[in-house]
A = this chain, B = another copy of it.
Amino acid sequence: MLSLKRFLIGRPLKSNELGEQKLNKTKALAILSSDALSSVAYGPEQILIVLITVSAAAFWYSVPIAIGVLILLLALILSYRQIIFAYPHGGGAYVVSKENLGKYPGLVAGGSLLVDYILTVAVSVSAGTDAITSAFPSLHEHTVIIAVIFVVFITILNLRGVTESASVLAYPVYLFVLALFILIGAGIYNIITGNVSPELHTSIGTPVAGISLFLLLKAFASGSSALTGVEAISNAIPNFKSPAPNNAAKTLAAMGILLALLFSGIVYLAYYYGIIPNLEVTVVSQIAEQTFGRNFLYFFIQGTTALILILAANTGYSAFPLLAVNLANDKFIPRMFTVRGDRLGYSNGIIMLGILSIILIIVFKGQTEHLIPLYAVGVFIPFTLSQTGMIIKWIRQRPKGWIPKLIINATGALISFIVTMMFFLTKFTQVWSVLVFLPLIIYAFHRIRKHYEAVADQLRTTTCEPAIPIAGNIIILPVAGMTHVVENSLNYAKSLSAYQIIAVHVPFEREDEGLFEEKWSKWQPDVRLVTLHSPYRSIIQPLTKFIDTVQRKASESNYQVTVVIPQFIPKKGWHNILHNQSSLLIRAHLLYRRNVIITTVPYHLKK
């Protein structure tokens, strides 16, 4: 077991090796932007899918819509840049909203992002798996298992630590960027040299019958789904090399530029080539085919696209555990999420993310496409909240030069809010469930916090009455027979200089009672034996009743009752099924139901 763990995730790291687990900008860009960059593979297509419902002539609208998306991108990048410097310890939307807007807006942001990262993993791995099974149709019936294997693989990679996963994952991300730049470059070269007929598309500004503002907003909202993942860097600042905020801000800028170039390039080529969205072949694939034909470059682009879709999941793995630490430190989710694993990553968060996304993949049988709008709305809610939080912050604090900062965040907040509303208005059937699960999640957060507060109250030594010293001990020893195990436990009980030791025997048959008592008085004449006949063949019931009686008397004079339970430990694991485990049952029952101290005296079997 241990060596398998070592093999999969590597040797444990010391806490002071944490510094070596920090990311430089190149690696950080790779693992934190894979989600955002991968959306280039489907974002432009989403716009065209909405426009085709009017006619192919409406495709020219994709250009102004893309410009709108780019403006939104610019506003988000600038806004998040300000968040990074204002909150250099990470936590992103959750921390910003909590500090400036209050607990519940913070929880709304945190809750939607937590769920969102799970969706990110499920959706992107499923999409990548689809791309692979489309290329190899014989794999199609194994989609779910392939997707699950990818999730397990990415989970293990992340358990190995953030630098190690970044080293592996950087290559495919940069290859994808390279592939798309080659595609866009070749495409523009073809257009300039006149290799592509300009008659393929309607020119910009052509009037189109049936176009409506609602439709254009819907197309804009769909295109904006390409911006999911932009927030990831702000959550993961602690993973950057020092000076973390500066490095994070530079990485964010680089990501913004790459995303803008790739997105506008693909939208423009799709428009100029007059690409019509198609269930069978993606828009990027169509552009690549028309540019290169089905040669090596085409397959290079297809392959890196499939890879980046799968690796987009990794952004979730970088951001989820850190967000979980923030929520757990504030006691809204279980404390275990704050524990660093062997490799210094927050392994419980990583594992939980893996498990939950595998469950999603299995439940949806790998068909997670219709979760995309849900996932987009789950990002734009925290976008809106965090920008609004920043607005409040600037107004309250009014630092030097706050007005331009306010304008940037206000623009970001407004556009994010409009996009969020667009999702609710235009895709309500796909996103309504947010309105159900968000309140549920927030209620759970609230309950968990309440429990931790109650516990802290009860444990604080200052608020409790000091414990009364114990006057003496009464030891109860359940005995099944007169064996060496019992002798051993008795021997221990005697060494505790207790006030009284009572051996308790529970016979099922009346006739066994006298015989046992007689034998006992010969074997242990100085230890008092109580026999409790149990007509219903239960050991726990009469024992509990007896302990209650003893305890009632003991507590009058401040005596403490201890139950000493002999337990033998077999040499091999399978031997356990050969024994009735009554020790464990008695222990669990008494510990949870009664206020007695339980002492387990192990007896290790040697063969």
Residues of A within 8 A of B (CB): 12-16, 334-336, 339-340, 342, 448, 451-452, 454-455, 458-461, 464, 466-467, 469-473, 482-485, 487-488, 491-492, 494-497, 508-509, 523, 535-538, 560, 562, 567-570, 575, 577-580, 587, 591-592, 595-602, 604-607
Instruction: Indicate whether A578 sits within 8 Å of B452 (C-beta atoms), given known contacts A458-B606, A598-B599.
Output: yes
Extra A-B contacts (6), CB below 8 Å, given A15-B535, A592-B602 = A342-B537, A454-B605, A454-B607, A458-B484, A597-B602, A598-B602
- Bound CA–CA A601/B495 (angstroms): 19
Closest 5 CB pairs of A and B: A470-B495, A459-B483, A14-B535, A599-B599, A467-B491
- Bound CA–CA A281/B538 (angstroms): 52
Establish whether residues B605 and A591, one from each chain, have CB atoms under 8 Å apart when the complex forms: no
- Among A568, A570, A575, max chain B CB count under 10 A is at A575
A474 to chain B, nearest CB (A): 11
- Bound CA–CA A472/B495 (angstroms): 6
Instruction: Indicate whether A484 sits within 8 Å of B470 (C-beta atoms), given known contacts A12-B536, A451-B578, A591-B567.
Output: no
- Bound CA–CA A600/B589 (angstroms): 13
For A604, what are the chain B residues with a Cβ–Cβ distance below 8 Å?
Answer: 595
- Bound CA–CA A587/B16 (angstroms): 28
Can you give 15 A-B contacts (C-beta < 8 A)?
Answer: A13-B536, A15-B508, A339-B537, A340-B537, A451-B570, A455-B605, A458-B607, A459-B483, A461-B487, A464-B484, A470-B492, A471-B495, A595-B602, A597-B600, A598-B600
- Bound CA–CA A467/B523 (angstroms): 14
- Bound CA–CA A404/B475 (angstroms): 65
A554 to chain B, nearest CB (A): 12
- Bound CA–CA A317/B595 (angstroms): 42
A189 to chain B, nearest CB (A): 55
A34 to chain B, nearest CB (A): 29
Establish whether residues A483 and B461, one from each chain, have CB atoms under 8 Å apart when the complex forms: yes
For A482, what are the chain B residues with a Cβ–Cβ distance below 8 Å?
Answer: 461
A575 is contacted by which of B14, B451, B460, B488 (Cβ under 8 Å)?
B451
- Bound CA–CA A570/B334 (angstroms): 14
For A14, what are the chain B residues with a Cβ–Cβ distance below 8 Å?
Answer: 535-536
Establish whether residues B334 and A578, one from each chain, have CB atoms under 8 Å apart when the complex forms: yes
The number of times this chain is found in the oligomer is 2
For A562, what are the chain B residues with a Cβ–Cβ distance below 8 Å?
Answer: 599
A1 to chain B, nearest CB (A): 13
Establish whether residues A467 and B495, one from each chain, have CB atoms under 8 Å apart when the complex forms: no
For A467, what are the chain B residues with a Cβ–Cβ distance below 8 Å?
Answer: 484, 487-488, 491
- Bound CA–CA A601/B473 (angstroms): 13
For A336, what are the chain B residues with a Cβ–Cβ distance below 8 Å?
Answer: 580
- Bound CA–CA A539/B543 (angstroms): 35
For A577, what are the chain B residues with a Cβ–Cβ distance below 8 Å?
Answer: 334
A486 to chain B, nearest CB (A): 8
Establish whether residues A602 and B607, one from each chain, have CB atoms under 8 Å apart when the complex forms: no
- Bound CA–CA A335/B15 (angstroms): 48
For A485, what are the chain B residues with a Cβ–Cβ distance below 8 Å?
Answer: 459
Establish whether residues A560 and B592, one from each chain, have CB atoms under 8 Å apart when the complex forms: no
Instruction: Indicate whether A460 sits within 8 Å of B483 (C-beta atoms), given known contacts A562-B599, A597-B601.
Output: yes
For A597, what are the chain B residues with a Cβ–Cβ distance below 8 Å?
Answer: 492, 599-602
A591 is contacted by which of B473, B569, B580 (Cβ under 8 Å)?
B569
For A494, what are the chain B residues with a Cβ–Cβ distance below 8 Å?
Answer: 469-470
For A342, what are the chain B residues with a Cβ–Cβ distance below 8 Å?
Answer: 536-537
A541 to chain B, nearest CB (A): 10
- Bound CA–CA A510/B294 (angstroms): 61
Establish whether residues A459 and B473, one from each chain, have CB atoms under 8 Å apart when the complex forms: no
- Smallest CB gap from A457: residue in B: B607
For A495, what are the chain B residues with a Cβ–Cβ distance below 8 Å?
Answer: 469-473, 560
A331 to chain B, nearest CB (A): 9
- Bound CA–CA A336/B582 (angstroms): 11
Establish whether residues A335 and B580, one from each chain, have CB atoms under 8 Å apart when the complex forms: yes
A484 is contacted by which of B12, B16, B460, B471 (Cβ under 8 Å)?
B460
Establish whether residues B605 and A600, one from each chain, have CB atoms under 8 Å apart when the complex forms: no
- Bound CA–CA A599/B496 (angstroms): 12
Establish whether residues A592 and B605, one from each chain, have CB atoms under 8 Å apart when the complex forms: no
A577 to chain B, nearest CB (A): 6
For A607, what are the chain B residues with a Cβ–Cβ distance below 8 Å?
Answer: 454, 458
For A459, what are the chain B residues with a Cβ–Cβ distance below 8 Å?
Answer: 483-485, 568
For A472, what are the chain B residues with a Cβ–Cβ distance below 8 Å?
Answer: 495
A261 to chain B, nearest CB (A): 43
- Smallest CB gap from A595: residue in B: B604
- Smallest CB gap from A331: residue in B: B578
- Bound CA–CA A560/B339 (angstroms): 34
For A535, what are the chain B residues with a Cβ–Cβ distance below 8 Å?
Answer: 14-16
For A492, what are the chain B residues with a Cβ–Cβ distance below 8 Å?
Answer: 470, 560, 597
A150 to chain B, nearest CB (A): 28
- Bound CA–CA A60/B473 (angstroms): 86
- Bound CA–CA A597/B340 (angstroms): 30
- Among A336, A451, A604, A606, max chain B CB count under 10 A is at A451
A576 to chain B, nearest CB (A): 10
For A13, what are the chain B residues with a Cβ–Cβ distance below 8 Å?
Answer: 536
- Smallest CB gap from A342: residue in B: B536
Establish whether residues A496 and B473, one from each chain, have CB atoms under 8 Å apart when the complex forms: yes
- Bound CA–CA A455/B471 (angstroms): 39
A516 to chain B, nearest CB (A): 15
- Bound CA–CA A482/B455 (angstroms): 14
